[in-house]
């Protein structure tokens, strides 16, 4: 496909004062960190168990049944949002991000005021869809701003890891864990996020229209996320509704690997490498036994994500990332039986999972913002391993109440299937790299602003000229 969209930006003769630029960098970074974290927390942990505890059990079950579809809808809207907003400019991206945060604040206030199972089902879909719009628009807003982009990835990946590893809520537990596991973030956090996004938008400079601007939609990345999210959601939903046999598990794994390969080919160049790494890392991370673990371990996944991103930028080999992911899958399989008795195993597991996820996103830096959003979407949607862990009660979830159960049944099968997925992604990546040879770095290229850490164009403030493009791969 030759479909392409781009946003041409030109340097401005009236540069803002140095002090204003320094303030803008800090505000943008903090806004990106909080905005991405809030969006991913609400998509990964959208169920208010505290609010639905008084309702009938069957109503809670219906909520949990809908959550994978709600998360998938949010992931799809993240890519659509990025595809649309990138053609409108970064100031519009900040405005859309701020507007999304305000809608989330209003929805959370309504959620607290009207707590019924029916309202929570609607609120979960609203939270996921609006959070997806926030995540996608914010990815465009931080284009060409290396510090803000790094903060965006730390916020998104850190929130994904924390939400994915959250235990069922219990009385007297850590209040931060309670915020995550009841799906109701504190109002002050949402207000602060909206205010920072508003200030970040106000600090953007007017960008004059150029004849080079092209507002065609990003067909390739949009199709990529739709193929992968749809295949994952439908295949995992089908699996949990049937008696899980080795043949059915194999078919589901094959469908997901094939969808990952197609999704990777729909992205430009070798950008699909990050998507394949994300598919492997997401399933391996879901295979570990993450609970019970002490409250002091809560910051470890966030710190590990930061360390992983830094390490990935230092050792730029996707094969190392895949090998580490395979090692994590084996660790999950071998320690499954003992994890509930020895807290050191869950602590080590969550730290390694976050470290490897950060490493994957640091190793494979896409050329386009759309590819980054597709990879984040993969991390958000529950995959095959989550379906295997929920097959005993017929839900794509860690437990009948969505979150990880410290007393739940354990099995080595999810770990071994995560290893199969990793090997399949390795084969797909080998094929991708044969089809898409590495770009000759000796060839002169126009300056670019990339949508991931380590941008190739633009000043640290992100105000230099550049071209942002997302191509639909062949």
- Condensed to tens digits (0 to 9), the pLDDT of residues 399-430 reads 888 889 888 888 999 999 999 999 999 999 99
| Residue 178, token pair as written in the block | 């309670």
Say which residue the tokens 């959070």 belong to. 131
pLDDT of residue 217: 58
What is the percent of the chain where pLDDT is above 90?
Answer: 57
Instruction: Collapse the DSSP code of 5 into the 3-class scheme (helix H, G, I; strand E, B; otherwise coil) and give the result.
Output: strand
Mean per-residue pLDDT, 227-244:
92
- Hey, what's the torsion of the CAs at 330, 429, 4, 149, to 10 degrees? 40
Q: Are 185 and 111 in contact (CB under 8 A)?
A: no
pLDDT reading at 447 higher than 50: no
Q: Are 91 and 206 in contact (CB under 8 A)?
A: yes
pTM of this structure: 0.86
Among 16-30, 187-201, 250-264, the range scoring the smallest mean pLDDT is 16-30
Q: Are 407 and 308 in contact (CB under 8 A)?
A: no
Identify which of 224, 213, 204 has the alpha carbon closest to the alpha carbon of residue 80.
Answer: 224
Q: Is 156 exposed, middle or buried (0-12, 13-18, 19+ CB in 10 A)?
A: buried
- Condensed to tens digits (0 to 9), the pLDDT of residues 238-286 reads 999 887 889 999 999 999 999 999 999 999 999 999 999 999 999 999 9
pLDDT of residue 20: 73
CA gap 46, 128 in Å, rounded: 7
- Condensed to tens digits (0 to 9), the pLDDT of residues 98-123 reads 999 999 998 877 766 555 556 677 77
Strands (E) in 78-155, as ranges, are: none
Mean per-residue pLDDT, 152-158:
97
Instruction: Collapse the DSSP code of 329 into the 3-class scheme (helix H, G, I; strand E, B; otherwise coil) and give the result.
Output: helix
């Amino acid at each position: 496909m030759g479909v392409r969209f781009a946003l041409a930006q030109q340097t401005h003769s009236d540069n803002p004062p140095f002090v204003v630029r320094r303030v803008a960098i800090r505000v943008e970074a903090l806004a990106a960190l909080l905005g991405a974290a809030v969006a991913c927390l609400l998509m990964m942990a959208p169920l208010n168990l505290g609010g639905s505890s008084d309702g009938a059990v069957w109503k809670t079950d219906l909520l949990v049944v809908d959550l994978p579809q709600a998360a998938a809808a949010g992931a799809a809207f993240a890519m659509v949002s990025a595809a649309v907003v990138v053609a409108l400019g970064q100031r519009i991206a900040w405005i859309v991000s701020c507007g999304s945060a305000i809608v989330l604040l209003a929805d959370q206030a309504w959620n607290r005021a009207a707590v019924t199972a029916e309202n929570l089902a609607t609120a979960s879909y609203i939270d996921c869809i609006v959070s997806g719009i926030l995540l996608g628009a914010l990815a465009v807003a931080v284009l060409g701003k290396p510090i803000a982009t790094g903060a965006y990835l730390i916020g998104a990946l850190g929130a994904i890891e924390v939400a994915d590893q959250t235990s069922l809520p219990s009385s007297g537990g850590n209040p931060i864990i309670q915020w995550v596991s009841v799906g109701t973030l504190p109002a002050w956090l949402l207000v602060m996020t909206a205010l920072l996004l508003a200030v970040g938008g106000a600090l953007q400079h007017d960008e004059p229209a150029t004849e080079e601007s092209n507002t065609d939609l990003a067909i390739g990345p949009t199709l990529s996320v739709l193929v992968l999210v749809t295949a994952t959601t439908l295949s995992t939903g089908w699996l949990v509704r049937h008696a899980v046999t080795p043949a059915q598990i194999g078919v589901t794994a094959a469908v997901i690997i094939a969808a990952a390969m197609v999704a990777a080919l729909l992205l430009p160049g070798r950008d699909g490498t990050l998507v394949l790494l994300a598919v492997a890392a997401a399933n391996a991370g879901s295979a570990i036994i993450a609970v019970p673990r002490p409250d002091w371990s809560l910051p470890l996944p966030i710190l590990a994500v930061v360390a992983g991103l830094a390490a990935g930028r230092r050792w730029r080999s996707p094969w190392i990332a895949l090998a580490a992911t395979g090692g994590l899958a084996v660790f999950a399989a071998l320690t499954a039986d003992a994890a509930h008795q020895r807290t050191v195993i869950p602590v080590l597991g969550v730290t390694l999972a976050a470290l490897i996820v950060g490493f994957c996103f640091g190793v494979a830096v896409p050329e386009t913002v759309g590819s980054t959003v597709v990879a984040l979407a993969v991390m958000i949607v529950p995959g095959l391993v989550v379906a295997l862990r929920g097959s005993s009660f017929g839900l794509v979830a860690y437990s009948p109440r969505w979150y990880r159960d410290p007393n739940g049944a354990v099995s080595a099968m999810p770990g071994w299937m995560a290893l199969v997925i990793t090997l399949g992604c390795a084969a797909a990546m080998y094929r991708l790299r044969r089809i898409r040879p590495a770009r000759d770095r000796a060839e002169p290229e126009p300056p670019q602003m990339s949508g991931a850490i380590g941008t190739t164009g633009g000043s640290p403030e992100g105000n230099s000229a550049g071209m942002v493009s997302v191509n639909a791969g062949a």
